[in-house]
């Protein structure tokens, strides 16, 4: 879905996913910033005119709803109110996007997604088909999380991760994460001045995660840490990602054209995760942790084996059959994730037991290799 031809010269087209956060589409007072959205709509039109296709992932529904309902009151924090506010704000936010894109002769198509759309194969295929057809029709899909009905325990929590998963869904060549800084800096600008731009990232390490820090502004739920996580998803999907300043003039064209010094560019990995293992790694929350010995770690990482009860040291959490769990080494470092075939009490009871010591009706498999993804970079 990432390639095609334009109508004029048969030039191969790319699909770009552009994500813009609440801090970049709202004003200081919390209202939807029509000028900021208008700027981005003009740049989307420029990308489209160059022959590429664009999917926009936007935040701002809750901000738009709350400033309409109670502009002088502090933003609520309880889930029920936030869902109701999102229902009020989503169509207002969409109207701004629709009007802005129509000014350049483009049609906007609203797409609201939830994590289960990426977990269940049938829903995944339906979402991919819908987005693909919108792009074929020349529409600009405008995507947001379905906040009005999202479950507190099963939600993305920020649109950076959603954007990365959408990029994989549509076979995008490039994920552009727009924010209120020039990119990933050597120092967190909220804590220290004088940080310089990191222009390229090829591999992730703990230092990058330290630099990224925690959540961002009160208007949103992301921050640089969530953008770094989204870039990692893109890299594992074989997609290039760039974190860049939403307010920079011509930022989309500059990023799409690989202009040096514009944002932080994350190079894709040569080895890509297939769709199902991408879901396991990033789209499903873990219900617990299984700690394994070094022998099991070696078998999983280096030999591609399944996790057996014999290699289990301990468990944390009350997970059930087919729940996702993190798999950690004896030091507590998580290195894999997978779907369990035994509930937590059974795994805890028979941890460390060899196959010949198990009851005849108990399988030694805890996580089968087909349901496991190694997270080491």
Distance, CA of 8 to CA of 110 (rounded, Å):
28
Q: Indicate the residue among 253, 276, 299 that finishes a domain.
A: 276
Structure tokens at 128: 């991919």
pLDDT beyond 80 at 121: no
Structure tokens at 166: 């959408």
271 and 323 share a domain?
no
* 89 CB-near residues (< 8 Å, 6+ apart): 60, 61, 62, 63, 64, 65, 66, 68
Following DSSP, what letter does each residue of 92-121 receive, concatenated? HHHHHHHHHHHTTT--EEEEEE-THHHHSH
**Do 114 and 185 have their domain in common?**
yes
Co-location of 24 and 135 in the same domain: yes
Count up the domains in the chain and report the number.
2
Asked if pLDDT for residue 70 goes beyond 90, the answer is no
Is the Cβ–Cβ distance between 327 and 289 less than 8 Å? yes
Whether residue 315 sits in one domain with residue 240: no
In 3D space, the residue among 156, 23, 158, 144 whose CA is nearest the CA of residue 91 turns out to be 144
User: 113 with 153, same domain?
Assistant: yes
CATH of the domain at 360: 2.30.130.10
Let me know if residue 109 belongs to a domain: yes
In a domain, 9, yes or no: no
Distance CA 213, CA 190 (A): 9
230 contacts 264 by C-beta, under 8 angstroms: no
Based on the domain organization, do 294 and 258 belong to the same domain?
no
Q: What is the mean pLDDT of residues 48-59?
A: 95
On whether both 175 and 138 belong to a single domain, the answer is yes
Cα 103 to the center of its chain, rounded Å: 30
Task: Please say if the pLDDT value at position 340 is more than 80.
Answer: yes
Domain span holding position 320: 286-374
Q: Are residues 179 and 39 in the same domain?
A: yes
Q: Which two tokens mark 136? A: 């074929």
H/E element, 175: strand 174-179
pLDDT tier for residue 28 given thresholds of 50, 70 and 90: confident
* Average pLDDT estimate for 348-362: 94
pLDDT of 208 higher than 80: no
Q: Over range 295-320, report the average pLDDT.
A: 95
Domain finish residue from 251, 276, 301? 276
Q: Are residues 183 and 313 in the same domain?
A: no
pTM: 0.81
């Amino acid at each position: 879905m990432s390639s095609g031809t334009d109508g004029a010269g048969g030039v191969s087209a790319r699909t770009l996913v552009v994500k813009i956060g609440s801090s970049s589409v709202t004003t200081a007072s919390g209202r939807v910033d029509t000028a900021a959205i208008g700027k981005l709509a003009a740049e989307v039109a420029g990308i489209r005119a160059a022959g590429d296709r664009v999917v926009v992932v936007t935040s701002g529904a809750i901000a738009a709803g709350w400033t309409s309902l109670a502009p002088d009151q502090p933003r609520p924090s309880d889930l029920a109110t936030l869902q109701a506010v999102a229902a009020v704000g989503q169509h207002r936010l969409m109207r701004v996007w629709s009007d802005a894109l129509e000014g350049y002769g483009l049609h906007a198509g609203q797409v609201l997604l939830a994590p289960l759309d990426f977990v269940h194969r049938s829903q995944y295929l339906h979402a991919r088909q819908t987005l693909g057809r919108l792009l074929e029709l020349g529409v600009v899909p405008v995507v947001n999380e379905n906040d009005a009905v999202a479950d507190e325990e099963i939600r993305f929590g920020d649109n950076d991760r959603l954007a990365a998963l959408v990029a994989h869904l549509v076979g995008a060549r490039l994920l552009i994460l727009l924010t209120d800084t020039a990119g990933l800096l050597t120092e967190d600008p909220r804590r220290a001045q004088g940080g310089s731009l990191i222009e390229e990232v090829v591999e992730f390490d703990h230092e990058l995660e330290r630099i990224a820090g925690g959540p961002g502004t009160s208007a949103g739920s992301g921050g640089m840490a969530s953008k770094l996580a989204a870039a990692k998803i893109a890299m594992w999907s074989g997609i290039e990602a760039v974190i860049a300043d939403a307010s920079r003039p011509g930022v989309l064209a500059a990023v799409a054209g690989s202009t040096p010094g514009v944002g932080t560019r994350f190079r894709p990995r040569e080895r890509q995760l297939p769709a199902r293992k991408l879901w396991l790694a990033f789209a499903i929350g873990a219900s617990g942790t299984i700690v394994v010995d070094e022998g099991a770690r070696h078998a999983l990482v280096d030999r591609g084996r399944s996790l057996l009860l014999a290699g289990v040291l301990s468990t944390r959490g009350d997970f059930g059959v087919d729940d996702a769990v993190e798999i950690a080494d004896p030091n507590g470092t998580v290195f894999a994730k997978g779907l369990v075939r035994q509930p937590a009490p059974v795994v805890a009871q028979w941890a460390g037991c060899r196959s010949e010591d198990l009851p005849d009706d108990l399988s030694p498999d805890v996580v089968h290799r087909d349901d496991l993804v190694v997270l080491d970079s």
